Structure 1
């Protein structure tokens, strides 16, 4: 005997007539699938926005990645800072110069670098360094850089890279005063502005130091309040 039944999700799917023993199982699968989609569930084989894109992967970078990071940073600065940073600076800095700096930083241990990929495409870079001696008032960890491909802004890569780079540890960083997008992002993730400002030597832009306390300690304090 055959029967047809309408799925109770908002899409109102009609289940094709199947034998009784199989219909209930199919309806259950449909309800589960649509409930997940309505809740924002994204299968692993899909990208962060639900599109069919390669899965995101995060790993530590090595010296062999220096060229790719140099090219990526050059593109990221062009995408994010054109109009904020003087054209003379953007046009006068080559990807190869940046690649050499990244090679030196990683080879010497000055920077710990995380990179995000979708397939073979580099989409984001985050790096940290240790605060120089003589600043006991600052956290020991500095977030030295965080860049994401502009077409992937708002799709979850920056928070993932931030988590890999510093976790819940206290940290500090410099943010251009003109970069309001970055300021909103860091404020959302627990950073607050300090009174310390300086002029960046390369771009001649004013930047402010932002500092984040230990989030896990803050959470425990609130929980015990």
Structure 2
């Protein structure tokens, strides 16, 4: 695809990011969440709150190690990823980061945008000194789990149950993003 890449998000991207989130959740989570929950988190009021949240993430992140990236195709925002230091109490936030979210607009799926976002995230986190990257995903979300497994991710044994009117189980996945040495002992 011509003119496709990843860049840091800007305040002006917030509306596009929120719209992508709503569309991706409506399509990807419709069979994963209890009735009514998806409507609440993707309705007009929620979409406005997401716009505000993503504008703040782009301009005033909680730390220099938190980032919001966007995938672009011909200057159109088509996906996004957010990451920061891991917050789970059993993880070391100095070495372990969390992929908070990675979503691609369903209208632009399967064009490599998710892979580009994942690679850019890993590169930035590696530069920041992280060696491990984790994320939480719905246990029943086979699409996300398959995508991440193809990139070397695996469950790390942790799970949690969210109360969404009924229990919804999530599992934590992880991957090693540490600097690897070549046969001559040089980092690459």
TM-score between the two structures when normalised by the length of structure 2: 0.77
Residue 55 of structure 1 aligns with which residue? 3
Matching of residue 192 in structure 1 with residue 144 in structure 2 = no
Higher relative contact order (CA 8 A, sep 6+): 2
Residue 129 of structure 1 aligns with which residue? 84
- State the number of aligned residues: 169
Q: Determine which structure has more spread, i.e. the larger CA radius of gyration.
A: 1
Deviations 1:141-163 (A, max 9, x none): 11111101223332211111101
Q: What's the CA shift for 1:220? A: 5.0
Bigger fraction of residues in strand: 2
Asked whether the equivalents of residues 21 and 105 of structure 2 are also in contact (C-alpha less than 8 Å), the reply is: no
Residue 35 of structure 1 aligns with which residue? none
Residue 210 of structure 1 aligns with which residue? 173
Q: What's the CA shift for 1:202? A: 5.3
Matching of residue 171 in structure 1 with residue 126 in structure 2 = no
Residue 14 of structure 1 aligns with which residue? none
For residue 115 of structure 1, the aligned residue among 50, 70, 86 is: 70
Aligned in 2, Cα 1:220/1:207: closer, same or farther, shift over 3 Å?
Answer: farther
Whole-angstrom CA distance in 2 between matches of 1:79 and 1:99: 19
Residue 7 of structure 1 aligns with which residue? none
Bigger fraction of residues in helix: 1
TM-score between the two structures when normalised by the length of structure 1: 0.65
Deviations 1:164-202 (A, max 9, x none): 112365211101101011111111112110221112355
List runs of 5+ in structure 2 lacking aligned partners: none
List runs of 5+ in structure 1 lacking aligned partners: 1-46, 48-53
Residue 97 of structure 1 aligns with which residue? 49
